[in-house]
Amino acid sequence: MTQLPIAANGRGYLAIPGPSVMPDAVLQAMHRPSPNIYAGELVDMAATLIPDLKRVARTSGKCAIYIGNGHAAWEASLANVISEGDRVLAPVTGHFGHGWAGMAVGLGAKVDTIDFGRHSPMDMARITKALKADTNHEIKAILAVHVDTSTSIRNDFAALRRAIDAADHPALLMADCIASLGCDQFEMDKWGVDIMVAACQKGLMVPAGVSFVFFNAKAEGVRNAMPRVSNYWDWVPRGDPEQLWQYFAGTAPTHHIYGLRAALDLIHAEGIENVWARHAVLARAIWAACDAWSQTGTLAMNVTDVMNRSNAVTSLSLASPDGTALREWVETHLGLTLGIGLGMAENGGRDSDAYFRLGHMGHVNGHMIMGMLGGMETGMTALGIAHGGGALEAAAAVIAAG
């Protein structure tokens, strides 16, 4: 006889690495009729978004907003600076790095990919070497993912900037912070990042559908030298809008604006440094639990060195098929949804039932993380998956110490 769900009713918890949990304040802000898009509150509110987004991105550059998911921001960023035949370098540490590089190929760029595998961050010496070998400075841009959400590897962008400077190379540094913005510390200006893309449904806690391209003066110069840029993706009117429609090249994403306004209010009321610190302590609690579990059995974190782990997402494995079995059990029996494995299969094949991921981005706090870990402990116990003891105690100790 199959076991009936024991404790699934009640408020569910979506612990996948995007979309993330939406705060009630965001949901409530969005629950309203359509506003006038030509005058009034919405117009005033849209103008306040850009400065507050830039504070999250730590940049004094410009920000263009697009109605679209992260893939739209990938395309938008490339459309402004990459023409057919241009060369780009893509240092890749997971599925999403390949995705952005593939989008550049689709736009006719010649892409040199350096794949660092699924367990290690970028090797900066190899990047310097590749740039030094480009003596004619043909490489126009470097497409680098800050946190690759598939592998949960976080790359050190201060070190990446130094690696580019060591080669004395003028290429644009382009960052994908879709998973990391508002979770892991990111310093666009300080780290010399020229273009940064993000989306609203991860650390920014808004339903999917709006994305962002931040760009500095150097990137503007490259854009202005482009032979042509498609009207829709052009960041010039969006970055310097005089009318609301120019922000969005048409009708504004009305309800996203309300939701995003509420989310930015939450972030800035907490303070972005405090937001990073909260993600850091919760991530350490998760890793402490995983370390304890992995003393017995097959549970393993994908990234060994804590310095290379994201504070927003953790990729894990159990012996196949236990990863999938655990996910399915906690969802059915506890109302807890964990993320599927992504991009971990060799040669682009189907991911095995070993891999899964924990999303801990955005609107998460100590009791939610303890609940997620308790749910995993419960699932492993119910399924007879071997695991070490003391995981919840270890996580509690990390959070208690702050």
Ligand X SMILES: *Cc1c(COP(=O)(O)O)cnc(C)c1O
Give whichever of 211 and 378 is closer to ligand X, judged by the CB atom.
211
Rule CB under 6 A: say whether 93 interacts with ligand X.
Answer: no
Rule CB under 6 A: say whether 178 interacts with ligand X.
Answer: yes
Interface region with ligand X, contact rule CB under 6 A, candidates 2-10, 63-71, 279-287, 319-327: 63-71
- Find the residue with minimal CB distance to ligand X: 70
Give whichever of 180 and 378 is closer to ligand X, judged by the CB atom.
180
Binding mask 180-219 for ligand X (x = CB under 6 A): -------------------x--------x-----------
Interface region with ligand X, contact rule CB under 6 A, candidates 36-44, 66-74, 113-121, 152-160: 66-74
Give the pair of three-digit tokens for residue 136.
Answer: 């004619």
Give whichever of 59 and 201 is closer to ligand X, judged by the CB atom.
201
Give whichever of 311 and 378 is closer to ligand X, judged by the CB atom.
311
Give whichever of 23 and 99 is closer to ligand X, judged by the CB atom.
99
Give whichever of 95 and 261 is closer to ligand X, judged by the CB atom.
95
Q: Residue 339: which residues within 8 A CB-CB, separation 6 or more?
A: 15, 16, 17, 313, 356, 357, 358, 359
Give the pair of three-digit tokens for residue 273.
Answer: 């440094």
Rule CB under 6 A: say whether 149 interacts with ligand X.
Answer: yes
Rule CB under 6 A: say whether 176 interacts with ligand X.
Answer: yes
Give the pair of three-digit tokens for residue 251.
Answer: 């009708």
Rule CB under 6 A: say whether 340 interacts with ligand X.
Answer: no
Q: Shortest Cβ distance from residue 197 to ligand X (Å)?
A: 8
Q: Is 69 left (phi over 0), alpha (psi -120 to 50) or beta?
A: beta
Q: Shortest Cβ distance from residue 58 to ligand X (Å)?
A: 18
Q: Shortest Cβ distance from residue 78 to ligand X (Å)?
A: 13
Cα 157 from Cα 95, distance rounded (Å): 19
Give whichever of 69 and 311 is closer to ligand X, judged by the CB atom.
69
Beta pairing, strands 313-317 & 300-301? antiparallel
Q: Which residues of 304-330 are buried (b: 16+ CB within 10 A; e: fewer)?
A: eeeebbbbbbbbbbbeeebbbbbbbbb
Rule CB under 6 A: say whether 71 interacts with ligand X.
Answer: yes
Interface region with ligand X, contact rule CB under 6 A, candidates 39-47, 141-149, 153-161, 315-323: 141-149
Number of residues that bind ligand X (CB under 6 A): 13
Rule CB under 6 A: say whether 96 interacts with ligand X.
Answer: yes
- The Cβ of residue 348 has, within 10 Å, a number of other Cβ atoms equal to 8
Rule CB under 6 A: say whether 18 interacts with ligand X.
Answer: yes
Cα 31 from Cα 255, distance rounded (Å): 8
Task: Show the DSSP H helices in 62-156 as ranges.
Answer: 70-81, 95-106, 124-133
Q: Are 238 and 249 in contact (CB under 8 A)?
A: yes
- The Cβ of residue 209 has, within 10 Å, a number of other Cβ atoms equal to 18
- The Cβ of residue 252 has, within 10 Å, a number of other Cβ atoms equal to 20
Q: Are 324 and 311 in contact (CB under 8 A)?
A: no
Give whichever of 316 and 325 is closer to ligand X, judged by the CB atom.
316
Q: Are 74 and 102 in contact (CB under 8 A)?
A: no
Residues between 237 and 266 that touch ligand X (CB under 6 A): none
Q: Which residues bind ligand X (CB under 6 A)?
A: 18, 69-71, 96, 145, 148-149, 176, 178-179, 199, 208
